[in-house]
Structure 1
């Protein structure tokens, strides 16, 4: 069968490994959003969809976390095309089927209902519905239906040209109600192999996508022609949301809001970071307050247990034994809860840059460290959750001033480390480092921790970095400390990078000028 279109990044960061499936195109640049009606960002994703549009009979999978920009990307792609977009509701299978048929019927005279009744006489209802949507015998009828549907939707009454595009959004909801719908979808799509339609399956459940749609043994294995995974935005694109902020404020904004477009679009770049957080996160009734507060209730049956675990991770517990102890759970039970959190995309496990994911289990022993994937959730469980009583009483500004602002740079230490790893990835990909790094991440063992390490493909050359958040300029002592730590690393050639929040002592600057193996990166250098 046809293989999934594959694109491999030059740099794989161990910091952000999520067990992705080979064949997924990972697009990070830009954010799908509208600014005064103009689409900006996610241009590579848009280009990938347009490339797929040029070929015949394409089945495209577009996936990523909720709020990462999938819907805006699809909307931009479809706006000048003949398309039907249906989002599966969280409902029973019967309600979902009725909703799908109603969507197909919208804007026409009942021919879809007639075609569905005819197709139903031949078997499964969902298979009949899919055959009506893109079946070989119905493709021309459906193209006409979409012309009517889109003319009805456009204010000027015009219709678009070109092949039909069918978008099924959050299809995993349908599969959870009835697993046989996947086989029905497969059968209908295979029977329409001579049609020129394009089918886009858009989903937030990455586990479902990778297991059922992309894996060779999955229900749609071998049928998917293009897979696009939208990741969180890197810090330098998050900075574009706050063009007037200083490098310090941009860094703290990234530490709090992360790279989730849905969170960032709530912010007002014309007001201070403090006011953005108070207004959009800490104020009771705001969108992000409600979202963060309800995450455990929405995803799990035992929200109290999960809240305890997330609170433990946010406050520095990173290993199963530590999390279990802080949450008053047995290690076995904590492992189960952590597995569920990882599966839901709320928690991820980080491994040392020198240990491949294949050497560690998802929740067993080994050297992995757990952390909260979503920056905003980490902020919530670090600061808001312990102060809910004050926030519920409306004292958002007081909580910010007394409990949050004094600790923000300590809170930003981990995001800052990940920013520096992303900086190294970007510089390496642009050939601005001594060699191309094939792997970037933190390096640690029982006695040594190194914030950022880049390793070449052969494993003989390393870039070793330290992230310094001191309020004082960094001096030679920090450099020699890094050299001492790096002595245990098995590399023939080592280069050193120091990242500093407060700049560098003149003596270190002078030293670095005379040593090509040393590079100094101030905070504003991350945004250069």
Structure 2
């Protein structure tokens, strides 16, 4: 089953249907489902797909030319440069729309820095009757830098919890949440968990056997990406399951803040680490925290790394049952705030939030009078408005005491209109919202799933 994450396929189709020559950028980290999205988009369309290798420009062009000859005919044999091929493609698209997909576009740019400018110029000067749709596939690490300057660009992200669970309709909530806590909704990871699987059994097989896919994957990717792999391992081990300050990472690794910051930026470009700041501050904030953003790496460094010796000698199954299974519920609980943030993003897209939630995340900062750091696990901010949220993983129904604890933070935001959102695994006492006023909203896990399913079904 194909799920249109963020309605990207729909958006690409709408742009294609405008029937004009244009370029669109698609940004993605590895494993996010780009290939499947391209396959779905390419159905019943004339498509020329080219994956550029990391070679000199002349060799990339030669391979591209040979592909055009094989796919489109001998008329491309006399082309001497990319502009010649583009003009022929543009001419062909007058009769029938053509999709040109340039995958790993960054290799074209690395080989010739002027290539993006040249391509943009060719598109602008194309025949008004041409219908050439150019799709440029780029690494997600360039999204923030390049997308603001582009007419059309999209970022391919992991499945949210609510998108992921649609692929596992028979699985219980707890199993779905455990699966999400491990995979982070990354399609490349989810493919190892069939719809009818037992998540715990798959974890034992994939992580706690010497030939397990994920057991070997982390070490292989670490060696592939980094020459200073031992330092990178130390940084990831320092972060573990909790968010960490830069100084805490430095204390653990004995790195200077400058060196640690540089290495963390490298890890972030690979989508392994995220740098987060309070929702009320810009990305340059010095109060940043770091966390391992890749769920497979986070689980490996938390639950696998301490037991490498046992796993290598075939004792991984015993380790899993005795050491890991008792920890899984606590491990799962940690992802519940992320699920609640996923829900808020869907609510924002559905237009059901009380104000435009431009930034959804968390907040922390120094209390002005109590001289201590306050932490709010869920928060959203927009001009003159702030939402403060709390989530509870409990079987007990919650009463208004849960709201009172959250409202104690009100004095931290004297200039903003304040809204309160409470999320619970179970439910809330009858009349909770009526008693609390229209600035308070409460959601059980079951209610979130129902509302998310209704919204996602309406967008298909």
What's the TM-score once normalised by structure 1's chain length? 0.74
Is the CA contact 2:47–2:101 (under 8 Å) kept in the aligned structure 1? Answer: yes
Q: 1:76 aligns with which of 32, 40, 64?
A: 40
Aligned to 1:125: none
Q: Does residue 1:514 correspond to 2:426, yes or no?
A: no
How far apart, CA to CA, are the structure 2 residues paired with 1:454 and 1:323?
A: 27
How far apart, CA to CA, are the structure 2 residues paired with 1:513 and 1:282?
A: 50
Q: Please show how residues 451-466 of structure 1 align to structure 2 within 5 Å.
A: 451-459=377-385, 462-466=386-390
What secondary structure, in the 3-state scheme, does the structure 2 residue paired with 1:348 have?
A: strand
Aligned to 2:457: none
Is the CA contact 1:268–1:276 (under 8 Å) kept in the aligned structure 2? Answer: no
What secondary structure, in the 3-state scheme, does the structure 2 residue paired with 1:271 have?
A: coil
Is the CA contact 1:296–1:303 (under 8 Å) kept in the aligned structure 2? Answer: yes
Q: Unaligned regions of 5+ residues in structure 1, if any? A: 1-34, 120-127, 145-160, 217-223, 361-365
Deviation at 1:98, TM superposition (A): 3.7
Cα deviation, 1:68-97, whole Å, max 9, x if unaligned, reads 222222222222122210112244555534
Aligned to 1:175: 109
Deviation at 1:372, TM superposition (A): 1.9
What secondary structure, in the 3-state scheme, does the structure 2 residue paired with 1:412 have?
A: helix
Q: Does residue 1:131 correspond to 2:90, yes or no?
A: no
How far apart, CA to CA, are the structure 1 residues paired with 2:124 and 2:399?
A: 65
Q: Decide whether aligned partners of structure 1 residues 492 and 57 sit closer, same or farther in structure 2, where only a CA change above 3 A counts.
A: closer
What secondary structure, in the 3-state scheme, does the structure 1 residue paired with 2:436 have?
A: coil
What secondary structure, in the 3-state scheme, does the structure 2 residue paired with 1:367 have?
A: coil
Q: 1:259 aligns with which of 185, 188, 192?
A: 185
Q: Please show how residues 121-520 of structure 1 align to structure 2 within 5 Å.
A: 128=81, 130-135=82-87, 139-140=90-91, 162-186=96-120, 188-190=122-124, 192-194=126-128, 195-203=130-138, 205-208=139-142, 210-211=144-145, 214=147, 216=149, 224-316=150-242, 318-357=244-283, 359-360=284-285, 366-430=286-350, 432-446=352-366, 447-459=373-385, 462-470=386-394, 474=398, 477-490=401-414, 494-501=418-425, 503=427, 509=430, 514-516=435-437, 518-520=440-442
Q: Unaligned regions of 5+ residues in structure 2, if any? A: 367-372, 451-460
Aligned to 2:78: 115
Asked which structure has the greater RCO (Cα within 8 Å, sep 6+), the reply is 1
Is the CA contact 1:83–1:165 (under 8 Å) kept in the aligned structure 2? Answer: yes
Aligned to 1:523: 445
Q: Decide whether aligned partners of structure 1 residues 288 and 185 sit closer, same or farther in structure 2, where only a CA change above 3 A counts.
A: farther
Q: Decide whether aligned partners of structure 1 residues 477 and 108 sit closer, same or farther in structure 2, where only a CA change above 3 A counts.
A: closer
Aligned to 1:30: none
Q: Decide whether aligned partners of structure 1 residues 198 and 439 sit closer, same or farther in structure 2, where only a CA change above 3 A counts.
A: closer
How far apart, CA to CA, are the structure 2 residues paired with 1:526 and 1:481?
A: 22
Is the CA contact 2:3–2:163 (under 8 Å) kept in the aligned structure 1? Answer: no
Is the CA contact 1:317–1:323 (under 8 Å) kept in the aligned structure 2? Answer: no
How far apart, CA to CA, are the structure 2 residues paired with 1:83 and 1:74?
A: 10
How far apart, CA to CA, are the structure 1 residues paired with 2:6 and 2:337?
A: 27
Deviation at 1:343, TM superposition (A): 2.9
How far apart, CA to CA, are the structure 2 residues paired with 1:493 and 1:138?
A: 55
Q: Decide whether aligned partners of structure 1 residues 258 and 448 sit closer, same or farther in structure 2, where only a CA change above 3 A counts.
A: same
Is the CA contact 1:464–1:496 (under 8 Å) kept in the aligned structure 2? Answer: yes
What secondary structure, in the 3-state scheme, does the structure 2 residue paired with 1:62 have?
A: strand
TM-align CA RMSD? 3.0
Q: Please say which of residues 335-344 and 383-392 is displaced more in the overlay.
A: 383-392
Q: Decide whether aligned partners of structure 1 residues 290 and 58 sit closer, same or farther in structure 2, where only a CA change above 3 A counts.
A: farther
Cα deviation, 1:448-480, whole Å, max 9, x if unaligned, reads 111122345323xx4322222356655655443
Aligned to 2:20: 56
What secondary structure, in the 3-state scheme, does the structure 2 residue paired with 1:115 have?
A: coil
Is the CA contact 1:168–1:202 (under 8 Å) kept in the aligned structure 2? Answer: yes
Q: 2:8 aligns with which of 45, 66, 79?
A: 45
Is the CA contact 1:283–1:394 (under 8 Å) kept in the aligned structure 2? Answer: yes
Deviation at 1:169, TM superposition (A): 0.4
How far apart, CA to CA, are the structure 1 residues paired with 2:273 and 2:159?
A: 17
What's the TM-score once normalised by structure 2's chain length? 0.84
How far apart, CA to CA, are the structure 1 residues paired with 2:387 and 2:147?
A: 35
